[in-house]
Structure 1
Amino acid sequence: MTTMTLLVLLIAGHIMADFYLQPSHWISQRTQRHFSAPCLYWHGGVHGLIAALTLALLTDLHPLKVAAYALLLGGSHIVIDGLKSYAGSSMKAFLADQLAHIVVIGFVVLLVWQPEQATISAWLKQSLNYKTLAIMTGYLLVLRPVSIVIKQILAPWSNAIEADKPDEESETTLQAAGQNIGYLERVLVLTFILLNQFAAIGFLLAAKSVFRFGDLRQSEDKKLTEYVMLGTLTSFALTIAVGLLVSSLATQLPVGK
């Protein structure tokens, strides 16, 4: 079994235990009672059991090592979830909680590795190459950098739109919702390009047109409609350009072949 296979299986077991084998009343009890909630320890036990079964069935580890690694995964889950219960149910707390679990799983996989291979530098040399880095850079580009470029391109029209709108109408949507929609939109477009699914890009554009441009048409504001269309097409065009460049470097992907 390869190291990556073991990592994926342990993460799959984590997802099963965290999202399918955890009743809702366990979560409520943990949120209210924190470390004094018995369900917190039952939940950690479920994680440890799944990890133990995975390691025992799919590796040649000594039973004592299997028990030790399973105890590490189950115990760390108890500690992380217990601390997370004090932070509430915010998205930041959820992401930090899941990231902490993944880090622990990755650490266990490193321990399971053969001693001569069990170094972070060896893993980095194996996993990171110019193709992987090109993809990572592409996703970084389509977020803040492209957003800034779009803002600069649309600046003349943005000033005109703001001049026509009263101050009380400038905050009619959720704060930063438009920016976050743009981030998600560009991540999806880049992903579709890397998977050679150009038809999905057209579907995404059509879906956005139905929901967004329909409301603009009803508002009878031609200038605002044209501004939104210009912003959307600029966003798509820049992301497609980045996607084609990245796919030309990462030749193992469909577009790059």
Structure 2
Amino acid sequence: MTDDVVILVVLILAHVIGDFYLQTGRSIRHKSAKEAKLAILANLRHGASHALLAFTVLGITLSFELALLGTSLVIGTSHFVIDFIKSRLSACKGSLFCFAVDQLLHLVILVSVWAYLFDYFALINLATLREAITLEVLGIALAYLVILKPTSILIQFVLKPWRIADSADSSEQDSDDHLDKAGSLIGILERFIILTLILMNQFTAIGFVIAAKSILRFKEESRHEYVLLGTITSLAIVLMIGLIALSLL
């Protein structure tokens, strides 16, 4: 492993420690407090802790230089801005989407700082981007995109006749809709894992993913057939797409 990659891993490690292990429940509540002053101070402390962590790990792995102070301040300041904006958005309270976007933005900042430190931005040009776009890369990207939303829609069409018959009682319509949404998410995660295992040539491990659904229990026997049909359809599609993508590698 090259030294520059080690630095990137160390920066991400410092972020994980600062974001998930050094924060207390009290500081998290203060960051989202309605009182602006309290929220600003809490987010400033949190951003400062990330700046200090980044400066410390960069100083240990590289050397303690004044130039590292600027990059550490960028990490700390960006953390403050991102977290403060998120704390002011009421729609982000308890939102998985906001959490994912928040972490993605932090990761982008870390990678950008790392790329700046090792002059990787100088390597980014149209020629290198063209070289990176290969049939293998496009095939894998297309495979993942197809097995997510498009496959979910296709499975809904396949299951539609059974879904209508199973939902005749309008009093249970809402609960069935919630179950279908949860089932759709489970199916997406399942196909993502299976495709990844196929691309890694780990076909045996796919059996463990499918076996996990054997723990499902429903009062109505029709629900067993409904889930089984959806599972088999999902598995058939992801196997077909996965094997095609694997042939491109």
Q: Per the shorter chain, which TM-score range?
A: 0.7 to 0.9
Segment drifting more, 25-34 vs 13-22: 25-34
Correspondence 1:153 to 2:152: no
Segment drifting more, 63-72 vs 169-178: 169-178
Match of 2:145 in 1: 140
- How far apart are the structure 1 equivalents of 2:160 and 2:140? 29
Match of 2:14 in 1: 13
Which of 114, 129, 133 is the aligned partner of 1:109? Answer: 114
* TM-score (norm: length of structure 2): 0.83
- How far apart are the structure 2 equivalents of 1:44 and 1:34? 16
- How far apart are the structure 2 equivalents of 1:98 and 1:127? 26
* TM-score (norm: length of structure 1): 0.81
- How far apart are the structure 2 equivalents of 1:120 and 1:84? 33
Offset of residue 183 of structure 1: 1.0
Correspondence 1:181 to 2:183: no
Change (3 A) 1:136 1:34: farther
Which of 85, 88, 91 is the aligned partner of 2:87? Answer: 85
CA deviation vs aligned residue, 1:195-244 (integer Å, no higher than 9, x gap): 33323321222221221xx31xx4244xx433321211010111112222
The gaps in structure 2 that reach 5 residues or longer are none
Correspondence 1:68 to 2:70: yes
Match of 2:240 in 1: 241
- How far apart are the structure 1 equivalents of 2:201 and 2:189? 18
- How far apart are the structure 2 equivalents of 1:57 and 1:80? 27
Change (3 A) 1:115 1:232: closer
**Code of the aligned partner of 2:11:** L
- How far apart are the structure 2 equivalents of 1:198 and 1:52? 44
Match of 1:232 in 2: 231
Task: Kindly report the root-mean-square deviation, in angstroms, between the aligned alpha carbons of the 2 structures.
Answer: 2.7
User: Do the aligned partners of 1:47 and 1:77 also contact (CA within 8 Å) in 2?
Assistant: yes
Match of 1:168 in 2: 171
Consecutive aligned runs of 4 or more in structure 1 exceeding 6 Å deviation? none
The gaps in structure 1 that reach 5 residues or longer are 251-257
- How far apart are the structure 2 equivalents of 1:150 and 1:45? 49
User: Do the aligned partners of 1:110 and 1:118 also contact (CA within 8 Å) in 2?
Assistant: no
SS in 1 for 2:88: coil
Which of 50, 53, 62 is the aligned partner of 2:53? Answer: 50
User: Do the aligned partners of 1:186 and 1:239 also contact (CA within 8 Å) in 2?
Assistant: yes
- How far apart are the structure 1 equivalents of 2:184 and 2:116? 41
Offset of residue 128 of structure 1: 5.3
State percent identity of aligned pairs.
37
- How far apart are the structure 1 equivalents of 2:18 and 2:58? 16
- How far apart are the structure 1 equivalents of 2:140 and 2:134? 10
Which of 41, 44, 47 is the aligned partner of 1:41? Answer: 44
Change (3 A) 1:150 1:98: same
Offset of residue 140 of structure 1: 0.9
User: Do the aligned partners of 2:115 and 2:121 also contact (CA within 8 Å) in 1?
Assistant: no
